[in-house]
Amino acid sequence: MNQRQTVPTHTPYYGSSKLFTIGLKPLDPDRWIEVDDHLLPYLAEKRRLYAEIPERVFVEEDGTRDAQREVLDLLAEHLPTHFPQTHRRTSNGIEVVGADGNSDSGIGAGEFGDAPLVAASLLVQEDLVIMRRDESGWRLVAGSLCFPSSWSLIEKFGRPLQEIHAPVPGFGPGTRPAELINRMFDGLQGQAVERYNWSIQSGNALYHPLSDVQRIDRATNRPSRFPDGDINAHAFIRVERQTLRKLPTSRDILFTIRIHLDPLRVLAGHHDRAALAVSFAAQLKTLDLAQLDYKGMTSDRDRLVAVLNHMASDA
């Protein structure tokens, strides 16, 4: 789908959010959700995915509907207050101005019934994941994930955090980062937090899944994502803005993921493009082989760095 051609909204690769770090920061509740000019295209893409591959983009365990309803209620309270131009209250609840399906769900009721998390997901550009604590840790018990960043919702469904993060270099079971993340989840109370993650992909697809098997194959064979060598034409920066907040009644944790996609070439229009490109390149150069394999950049890192260095020198 078409994405912005202007200056990026978030630039965590400037050095504010380094890869393979936890990097959680307090979040102003007023900034919980982001809405921009791509709201309607994002929601249309979600509806397409629900219609074509519903089993890959929505999962739920029995007993999670009350927590799902909490998410929907929180959004119904937050959105019309902070975004009255795009979200309004109606006799039926809340609707997005100009969106298809406001008067009818438009999604197969046979697939989802009346899952509140699906309704919630069609109000925002964010993906929505619910984590629940039990004896095995914090598990993924429900989720609407239409825009995965190289992972599979089906594979992670029902699994605890330490297993979900097992493929991430340095974050596997028994590592200090894995233990810290569990403690942070346990300690999360009224204060919401946010973090950023980022990567490079070829093309502008929002739906960008990857199974663990595909990840292993990619790390073994290390193919280039840009076989024609034209990084400027095909490279997109994928930024994930992630938030965590504890639901007030269920005490489950809601994990939101907002995807921003920007062509790499738009950095040339940034007011501080030289420093930005230098910092971006420097971060890429610090990644070790395991990290490059995980991000799928092993074969392309040097070419990406060269493009960024050229951008900096032209500033």
Report pLDDT digits (tens) over 26-53: 999 999 999 999 999 999 999 999 999 9
Q: How far apart are CA 305 and CA 289, in angstroms?
A: 15
Residue 97: CB atoms within 10 A of its CB come to 13
Give pTM, 2 decimals. Answer: 0.94
Instruction: Specify the residue for token string 């292993």.
Output: 216
pLDDT score of 282: 95
Task: For residue 113, name the pLDDT band (cuts at 50, 70, 90).
Answer: low
pLDDT score of 228: 81
CB 143 within 8 A of CB 130: yes
pLDDT score of 16: 83
Sort 229 into a burial class: Cβ within 10 Å, 0-12 / 13-18 / 19+: exposed
pLDDT score of 85: 97
3-state secondary structure of 42: helix
In the chain, alpha helices (H): 39-52, 54-57, 65-82, 109-112, 116-121, 153-156, 161-164, 176-187, 212-221, 231-234, 273-286, 289-295, 301-313
CB 197 within 8 A of CB 24: no
Q: How far apart are CA 34 and CA 75, in angstroms?
A: 12
Whether the per-residue pLDDT at 5 is higher than 90: the answer is no
Supply the mean pLDDT for the chain: 92
pLDDT score of 190: 84
- Tell me the percentage of the chain whose pLDDT exceeds 90: 81
User: Among candidates 13, 7, 14, which has minimal Cα distance to 270?
Assistant: 7
Whether the per-residue pLDDT at 103 is higher than 60: the answer is no
Whether the per-residue pLDDT at 137 is higher than 60: the answer is yes
Per-residue pLDDT tens over the stretch 244-301 = 999 999 999 999 999 999 999 999 888 899 999 999 999 999 999 999 999 999 999 9
Q: Kind and range of the H or E element at 31?
A: none
Task: For residue 1, name the pLDDT band (cuts at 50, 70, 90).
Answer: low
Per-residue pLDDT tens over the stretch 48-95 = 999 999 999 999 999 999 999 999 999 999 999 999 999 999 988 899
Q: How far apart are CA 309 and CA 47, in angstroms?
A: 40
